[in-house]
Amino acid sequence: MVSASQLAAFAALTFVMVVVPGPSVLFTISRALTVGRRDALLTVLGNAAGVYAQVVAVAFGLGTLVERSATVFTIVKLAGAAYLVYLGVQAWRHRRSLADVFSAGIEATRGRTLRVLHDGFVVGFLNPKSIVFLAAVLPQFVNQQAGSVPLQILVLGVLLPVIAVLSDSAWAFVAGTARDWFARSPRRLELVGGAGGLTMIGLGATLAFTGRKD
């Protein structure tokens, strides 16, 4: 069974990793600026589910494969980068419709919940920063004599999405508040939509050209 000392040590390291802005944080901010606080918070939840799917993968061996294989790492990285670029292009294309969506209020967002959660999940699951962290660091906190290794990884791994939800939600609230000011002018809101889209495109391009540190 996982001990309190194991949980505390991994939680401290996870907190340090999470508070350093990475693809998930920047994606959340872009979502908050582009489509508002609600969708940004749903993105955070989807992202957390995607990250925990990585934990499951690490528990059953896939994380080790990604951490050790440059080819598999590159595939994961490029897939995540391509999806971010796609979302950014979509945000850029529809930037002029943001004023209409904002004026329509909550009715304009009903029925889109699963789609937003899906987007967050994909970005979270294909985030190379977290999967390499999990594959390289998480197994070091496992006690081989304390029972099932996969079970210990699954329990310890819960800390990453939980801490990420708390941290990323704060970013979403801050960015969503800033968006409210921009929303007072259709022109401002169009600029926000374009900037958010370009941010996601830039993030995807940066991710695609970021190499491994090995």
- Token readout for 138 is 């998480």
Distance CA 179, CA 193 (A): 10
What are the sequence ranges of the domains in the chain? 22-208
pLDDT of 113 over the 90 cut: no
**Which residues 6+ apart lie within 8 Å of 30 measured at CB?**
88, 91, 196, 197, 199, 200, 203
Q: Where are the alpha helices (DSSP H) in the chain?
A: 4-19, 23-35, 37-59, 62-68, 70-93, 98-104, 113-125, 128-137, 149-157, 159-182, 186-208
Cα three-residue angle 14-43-53, rounded to 5 degrees: 55
Both tokens assigned to 44:
């955070």
3-state secondary structure of 197: helix
CA–CA separation, 208 and 203 (whole Å):
9
Asked if residue 153 has pLDDT above 60, the reply is yes
Choice among 37-41, 83-87, 170-174, 185-189 with the minimum mean pLDDT: 185-189
Give the model's pLDDT for residue 67.
56
pLDDT(180) > 90: no
Distance CA 100, CA 28 (A): 22
**pTM value > 0.85:** no
